[in-house]
Structure 1
Amino acid sequence: MQKTWYLFLIIYTLFYLESVSQNLILSIKGENETETRIIDSIGYLKTHKDLESLKNENSLTKKNLAKLGYIENKIWELKKTNDSTFQSTIHLKKKFDSLYIFYDNKKIDSSTLNLISNQVNTNYFVLKFQNIEQALYTLNTELSKKGFPFSKVKLSNLEIKNKTTLHAHLTTGNLIEKRRINKIVSKGYEKFPKSFTHHYLKIRRNQDFDINTIRTKTEQLSNLRFAKEVKPPEVLFLKDSTTLYLYLEKSKSNNFDGFLGFGTNEETNKLEFDGYLNLNLNNNLNFGETFSLLYKSDENDQKTFEVNTELPYLFNSPIGVNLSLRIFRKDSSFTTVNQNAKFHYQLNSSNKIFIGVTTTESNNTLANNNSLTINDYTTTQYNLAYQFIKPQYNNLLFPIQSRIYFETGLGSRISDTDKKKQSQFLFDLMKIVNFNTKNSLFLKTTGKALISDNYFDNELLRFGGINSLRGFEENSLNATFFAVLNTEYRYQLNNTTYIHSILDSGYLENNIQNNRNTLFSYGIGLAILTKSGVLKLNYANSKNENKPFKLANSKVHISLIANF
């Protein structure tokens, strides 16, 4: 008997709760079918949990109708038709299409009003009723951008002029004193280069204050290696000054890159080693400068020494300079020295343009100087270049999301025998296509062309190796034109490890040897983010169309990129 009573109580409670929580239905009608269709067209919520929600929706519908121009609309009645349904009747009355707004042209200029209206006169402008709310918001935002962060705009003295038109006056508040940035303070990284604030972020003293614009600009700090934003900027308003505070932190931006490669020499069948060291120093003087040093030695008895430096925003100007020195020595055959100077202008955080000059001097170092293909020469070329970089420095495994670099050069080569006009073209494109958090595709294509009437062996373009066409020896391929496509399908095992495929292809032309060749390499790779940096292990095998596949052509590359 007791169990039956409990069961009865449970069933009763469930049915009671169901009846209490029954939804209410709202139906809004107009005075006629035309008005009802207009009300239905704006849409309103018909199902409600309680009576208060239903009444609020009824009032909201009345306001939405007013925004469309039915400013005289009136709710006649809200009545209950049955246990769960309520019917509201709204009389729309006449619709006003336009609002003529009179303004003070000493406070607001017509160029600002042109952003919100296509009918702007000396002392009034015209708005469609459905655009009024958005137009006033836009107007207030524009006034804030012009240095009036506390501006307020509203309409007053609303008058009916005729059947479809209203007149009103625009009232503006807090436009007496324009706010400008008087001082910029970097907190956390007090020695942040002021030139980057001025030219890179484009935040300057005495410019009109607008916090939204400033926050958009400081987001560009994510594109810098040596600094990051730790929290959004803040501002201190005093009676006669405005101070902007940027909250920054200096990042570790130096890195050391090196690799060790080994493979079997086809002629001697002995194990041979090659490798390089690459040191990059960034912003150690708190100037935003970069310095890099590269030393490379490979099994072909080739040695490369290269130094590069970039000095941005010289003398607090938008102009920077890039300087480089490269020395290449080929066994006892020749030595080539390249010197390069470029001036660059940073258009924004991602884009740069360059203009500069490159001089090259090459000397035949053979004891018996009778070579027809190795000659002493000097060249001077004038260069024009463009660079785009989209970084993702918060991702230590893949710090660059995309990159574009084009360079062209025009000049002449002078040798003992003649003087020839020459031109060069270089491109370097890279993109990571992210399918999801674990799978991505890495694509990179590079190429270079030397255009001349004739060529010397010691001016040929040299490529191949871990940073070019993998599976081939470093700088073992010589060409007057080459193009390389690197691809990797990457699978990220976790936040610190990924494996990838290696599938590279290349094409070269050597006009000295009248050689055209298609090259391939394929293999697998592993990358691990350690406390010291990113450790990479690649295994690749090379093949060209004129030679069969050989296991002995395989190369194992080990590299470590350490940040400090």
Structure 2
Amino acid sequence: MIHRIKYFLLLLTYPFLLLPQVVDNFEITSNNNFKDNEIIGWAQVGKGTRLYKGILDTIKSRVAFNLSLKGYFNPSFDGTSMEFSEDSQKVNIKLVAYEGTPTFLNKVIFTSNDSLRLQSFLPVFNFLQGQVFNKNELEEYINDALTKLENDGHPFAVFTITSVYFYYDSTDENNYADLYLKLNTGINSKIEKIEVKGNESTRDYVVIRELRIEPGEQYSQVKIEELPRRLNRLRFFEPVATPQFYVDSDDNGVLLITVKERQTNNFDGIIGYVPPANENESGFITGIVDVSLRNLFGTGRAVAVRWRKFDRNSQELELRYLEPWLFGFPLNLNVDFFQRQQDTIFVQRTISGGLEYLATEDVSAAVFVSSESTIPTLSEEPVFTVFNSTSLTTGVNLKIDTRDDPLAPTSGILFSNTYKFSRKNINGPSKFITLDTETEVNLQRFEATLALFYKLFSRQVIAFDINGRELRGPFFEESDLYRLGGTNTLRGYREDQFLGNRIYWSNLEYRFFLSRRTFAFLFFDTGYFLRSADEERNIIEQEEFLIGYGLGINLETAIGVLGVSFALAKGDSFSEGLIHFGIINEF
């Protein structure tokens, strides 16, 4: 019978033996200089914390360590205790945390191998004398001094705390410390050589010229940390890491740039055939072809060809060439040819050239000139479409680009402001030119873009851009107008769906990065266009505010960054949504 009672009691208590003992309450007392919450944070103990052997010693050790960082080296924890509940499953901890008196920094004995540096830093560290010996504050002073040295040619500088002498002064009853600090500045480092690794096709000089570092230039950590952003703008490499610096056996300072090349030749195309609708028509080819060679023979030169066939009678052809760093100077030469056939209305050809001065790594200014001709399509019936005209355009552009990566920026801004002046001569058709027709027309174009990128959290970025275009002059033809709608402006609408002498659009995106240059996004686009009335040509005013929204993804692939989005215009049902896709323009 007695054995049965023992087994019964064991069964009753067994579940309680399996439950862990936990802290039910953690109380702080006797603290005068620091708040309870601060000390609890140091102890890393709270309600629900599991009880373990030596928990009181751990708490005391953690609190004492953090107090020492604040300059309190003589705390007392006498009276600290634990009280268990009746079932021994919960415990109340009472921590008696008397911080004691702070220790003051009495003297800083500072020595250095460089007397000039000693004199420059001595006032900084002397400022600490008489203050509470706060280790965190001392580390901040040392880190600031090391940063200044790194940016002034001393990347190998070292601060050493040789000793700290603690003592008690019975006269004023305070604790004091004397700090012995030594600075070794190391050698005065200069960048005398630049080595490039990992570039299989890109030539070394293409990388080196982008760095804008002169041989013998003094080492600066700030400038070194800026170099990856400059190289990323070439778009020839995977995201570049911060370069390494070392001194070789000949005592030359060597800057080592390590890169990994990415695909720089892109081909994007889709070709389709539209069969005839009836026996009297013939079929036609439609589609898009985009070819971009952005690093010809590893020299940084670029060539692009773009062809778009919209329908039976409309198509575009564009050829572009870039010559970077003309004659070794920070000047980029751009040459473009563009031709547009618009329905059965006109053919427009433009030849342009521009010279861009790279003032700094962030700021550039450009001048350009272009010649344009517009030829109306001949028709059997004398119907006016556009004038036969030629125009000469000159312009200037200012650009500021601080983005950390041009393909998938997570921070920075892009600002571009352009002014164009065109002198347009109307040459025919003579049957539509009257005595009142202005045959010499001056046109002005104002164009601006502002893009902002802000990192909210890890992998999450907000991107916003706003764009404006305005054309001014006595009258406008269809070939002069701006075009709005499609992948690069207002998603949810057809490419170039709207025409206007004044257009505006904005794009707001929330981006979630899946890898460095791959991200999914939600977007909200707005747009506006105005085509002013022209009573003489029976054109009524057209004006509308538009909205588009949707989602998409940008994928980094072997052939470039592929962008795909599904967009709805205001009032559209899901079945009416448009899919926009294409290789992101990297020219």
- On whether the aligned pair clears a TM of 0.5, the verdict is yes
Q: 1:300 to 1:10 in 2, by over 3 A?
A: same
Counterpart check, 1:8 vs 2:10: yes
Q: 1:26 to 1:234 in 2, by over 3 A?
A: farther
Residue of structure 2 equivalent to 1:314 = 326
Residue of structure 2 equivalent to 1:516 = 541
* Structure 1 CA distance for aligned equivalents of residues 285 and 410 of structure 2: 29
Residue of structure 1 equivalent to 2:469 = 448
Q: 1:27 to 1:296 in 2, by over 3 A?
A: closer
Counterpart check, 1:408 vs 2:419: yes
Instruction: Confirm or deny: 8 A CA contact 1:483 1:508 kept in the other structure.
Output: no
Residue of structure 2 equivalent to 1:37 = 32
Superposed, 1:520-531 pairs within 5 Å as none
Residue of structure 1 equivalent to 2:501 = 480
Q: Which of 295, 308, 312 lines up with 1:296 in the alignment?
A: 308
Alpha-carbon deviations, 1:259-278, whole Å to 9, x = none?
A: 56899999999998643322
Structure 1 residue 509: deviation in Å?
A: 0.9
* Structure 1 CA distance for aligned equivalents of residues 454 and 179 of structure 2: 54
Q: 1:460 to 1:26 in 2, by over 3 A?
A: closer
**Once structures 1 and 2 are overlaid, which stretch shifts more, 385-394 or 353-362?**
385-394
* Structure 2 CA distance for aligned equivalents of residues 373 and 141 of structure 1: 65
Instruction: Confirm or deny: 8 A CA contact 1:493 1:499 kept in the other structure.
Output: no
Alpha-carbon deviations, 1:411-470, whole Å to 9, x = none?
A: 544556654443112245667999999999997765432211334554344555665567
Q: Which of 221, 228, 253 lines up with 1:242 in the alignment?
A: 253
Instruction: Confirm or deny: 8 A CA contact 1:136 1:154 kept in the other structure.
Output: no
Residue of structure 2 equivalent to 1:108 = 117
Counterpart check, 1:144 vs 2:150: yes
* Structure 2 CA distance for aligned equivalents of residues 261 and 195 of structure 1: 43
**Once structures 1 and 2 are overlaid, which stretch shifts more, 511-520 or 285-294?**
511-520
Structure 1 residue 347: deviation in Å?
A: 4.0
Residue of structure 2 equivalent to 1:33 = none
Q: 1:521 to 1:50 in 2, by over 3 A?
A: closer
Instruction: Confirm or deny: 8 A CA contact 2:158 2:186 kept in the other structure.
Output: no
Q: 1:370 to 1:113 in 2, by over 3 A?
A: farther
Counterpart check, 1:424 vs 2:424: no
Residue of structure 1 equivalent to 2:267 = 256
Q: 1:38 to 1:476 in 2, by over 3 A?
A: closer
Paired-residue identity, % = 16
Alpha-carbon deviations, 1:283-303, whole Å to 9, x = none?
A: 232233332112233337344
Give secondary structure in 1 for the equivalent of 2:65.
helix
Q: 1:222 to 1:113 in 2, by over 3 A?
A: farther
Structure 1 residue 374: deviation in Å?
A: 0.5
Counterpart check, 1:383 vs 2:396: yes
Instruction: Confirm or deny: 8 A CA contact 1:193 1:286 kept in the other structure.
Output: yes
Q: How many residues align?
A: 530
Residue of structure 1 equivalent to 2:101 = 92
Give secondary structure in 2 for the equivalent of 1:249.
coil
Residue of structure 1 equivalent to 2:196 = 186
Alpha-carbon deviations, 1:26-53, whole Å to 9, x = none?
A: 9785xxxxxx513658747456943542
Give secondary structure in 1 for the equivalent of 2:296.
coil
Alpha-carbon deviations, 1:464-521, whole Å to 9, x = none?
A: 5665567877657543333356789999999999898997754231454443224568
Q: 1:360 to 1:146 in 2, by over 3 A?
A: same
* Cα RMSD for the two superposed structures: 5.9
Residue of structure 2 equivalent to 1:121 = none
Residue of structure 2 equivalent to 1:135 = 141
* Structure 2 CA distance for aligned equivalents of residues 269 and 541 of structure 1: 33
Instruction: Confirm or deny: 8 A CA contact 2:376 2:387 kept in the other structure.
Output: no
Instruction: Confirm or deny: 8 A CA contact 2:106 2:178 kept in the other structure.
Output: no
Give secondary structure in 1 for the equivalent of 2:116.
coil
Q: 1:383 to 1:259 in 2, by over 3 A?
A: farther
**Once structures 1 and 2 are overlaid, which stretch shifts more, 152-161 or 374-383?**
152-161
Residue of structure 2 equivalent to 1:56 = 61
Superposed, 1:322-471 pairs within 5 Å as 322-330=334-342, 331=344, 333-345=346-358, 347-348=360-361, 351-364=362-375, 373-386=386-399, 388=401, 390=403, 405-414=416-425, 419-428=440-449, 446-456=467-477, 458-462=479-483, 467=488
Q: 1:37 to 1:213 in 2, by over 3 A?
A: farther
Alpha-carbon deviations, 1:326-349, whole Å to 9, x = none?
A: 23345474543231313142644x
* Structure 2 CA distance for aligned equivalents of residues 360 and 80 of structure 1: 91
Instruction: Confirm or deny: 8 A CA contact 1:262 1:556 kept in the other structure.
Output: no
Q: 1:540 to 1:189 in 2, by over 3 A?
A: same
Alpha-carbon deviations, 1:215-271, whole Å to 9, x = none?
A: 564366555532024766444444513333333211013222335689999999999
Give secondary structure in 2 for the equivalent of 1:137.
helix
Instruction: Confirm or deny: 8 A CA contact 2:376 2:386 kept in the other structure.
Output: no
Q: 1:138 to 1:468 in 2, by over 3 A?
A: closer
Counterpart check, 1:277 vs 2:289: yes
* Structure 1 CA distance for aligned equivalents of residues 558 and 448 of structure 2: 34
Letter of the structure 2 residue corresponding to residue 178 of structure 1: N
Give secondary structure in 2 for the equivalent of 1:252.
coil
* Structure 2 CA distance for aligned equivalents of residues 257 and 413 of structure 1: 35
Q: 1:313 to 1:171 in 2, by over 3 A?
A: farther
Alpha-carbon deviations, 1:103-159, whole Å to 9, x = none?
A: 778331777778x58xxxxxx666654443321222123223333333223567989
**Once structures 1 and 2 are overlaid, which stretch shifts more, 498-507 or 276-285?**
498-507
**Once structures 1 and 2 are overlaid, which stretch shifts more, 129-138 or 462-471?**
462-471
* Structure 2 CA distance for aligned equivalents of residues 525 and 136 of structure 1: 49
Q: 1:511 to 1:291 in 2, by over 3 A?
A: farther
Alpha-carbon deviations, 1:343-363, whole Å to 9, x = none?
A: 142644xx4533212222325
Q: 1:195 to 1:510 in 2, by over 3 A?
A: farther
Question: Quick one: higher RCO (CA 8 Å, sep 6+), 1 or 2?
Answer: 1
Q: 1:394 to 1:376 in 2, by over 3 A?
A: closer
Structure 2, unpaired ranges of 5+: 46-51, 84-93, 428-437
* Structure 2 CA distance for aligned equivalents of residues 505 and 555 of structure 1: 17
Counterpart check, 1:175 vs 2:185: yes
* Structure 2 CA distance for aligned equivalents of residues 279 and 536 of structure 1: 18
Give secondary structure in 2 for the equivalent of 1:325.
strand
Structure 1 residue 13: deviation in Å?
A: 11
Counterpart check, 1:226 vs 2:236: yes
Instruction: Confirm or deny: 8 A CA contact 1:498 1:528 kept in the other structure.
Output: yes
